[in-house]
Amino acid sequence: MREDGAVEDVSSQALSEARTLLAQSLRVTVFTGAGISTDSGIPDYRGPNGLWTRNPKAEKMSSLSHYLEDPEVRQLAWQNRVRSPAWDAQPNDGHRALVKLEERGVLVALVTQNIDELHQQAGHQPNNVVEVHGTMRYSRCWSCADRRPMQETLQRVRDGEIDPACLLCSGILKSDTISFGQSLVPEVIERAMWASENCDVLLAVGSSLSVFPAANVVPRAKAAGARVIIINGEPTKMDQYADVLLVGKIGDVLPAVIG
Ligand code: NAD
Ligand code: ZN
């Protein structure tokens, strides 16, 4: 951001339109993706430095069938979980800017595809955050659904178990997140869709808007009469629905539009 409050590369007209829409709205639903957490040191999947952009094979680890069928995929996944930069990550200016919407009393819900819990750490009430893809902070048994803090399970990996099994039923453990090929939790995605259909502004931040059904929040909001603001560093699959499109760095643009 420049000293005069303008943001490099983003049209000042688009910025002021977004500011006005947000300032006038009494019901804002926010939808976030991995791009809001890259400034906290957690890579996204499809951005220029994304995990899949740099290593297309990494996509396999996010596929449910590969994970359940291939012990080597699971072993690699456990090593990645132990080493994840998310454990030391702190919320950034983008996360903090969104908390202001909650403080003003205009936030319907913060729907996130992220699994890192940085929105809650930034100060959101946990029950305002709808985690459509789950959380990496718990592990869950694929067979009996036993759920416990991920750090307990990661300690077993650090102690030498390469593919820790469920302590209750010996089933396969994974993180309590939604893998590709896995169904979403019906009540959670229904709440996300309800929030998108009951807002007057839908603000989508840091997502390629290409993962479904989550990305449907955008056309749903539009069809229900909401104005749509999209903030992302590159084009998204939903740009045609945007009333205001802000292509730029989230850490600059988001604090500038929320104020
Ligand atoms: P994505 O990787 O598909 O898209 C992220 C988008 O953010 C990209 O278009 C990228 O250009 C943009 N971006 C990245 N940093 C930015 C910045 N500083 N300023 C502006 N734009 C920036 O992410 P997605 O749409 O969230 O889908 C990926 C899936 O992977 C999600 O379902 C999510 O569950 C999971 N995921 C989560 C995390 C996390 O929790 N932090 C990280 C990686 C992946
Ligand atoms: Zn079990």
72 and 2 assigned to the same domain: no
56 and 35 assigned to the same domain: no
Is it the case that residue 7 has pLDDT exceeding 70?
A: no
Q: In percent, how much of the chain has pLDDT > 70?
A: 97
115 and 206 assigned to the same domain: yes
CATH number at residue 63: 3.30.1600.10
25 and 67 assigned to the same domain: no
117 within 8 A of 159, measured Cβ to Cβ: no
Higher pLDDT, 250 or 7: 250
Report how many domains make up the chain: 2
From the CA of 108, how far away is ligand 1's center (Å)?
A: 22
CATH number at residue 207: 3.40.50.1220
22 and 146 assigned to the same domain: no
7 and 29 assigned to the same domain: yes
Does 131 sit in the ligand 1 pocket, CB within 6 Å?
Answer: no
pLDDT of residue 8: 57
pLDDT, tens digit, for every residue of 143-192? 999 999 999 999 999 999 999 999 999 999 999 999 999 999 999 999 99
Does 35 sit in the ligand 1 pocket, CB within 6 Å?
Answer: yes
Q: Which residues are catalytic?
A: 133
66 and 101 assigned to the same domain: no
Domain span holding position 117: 1-42+90-133+183-259
Tokens, residue 54: 């740099």
Last residue within a domain, chosen from 177, 208, 236: 177
d(CA 127, CA 131): 10
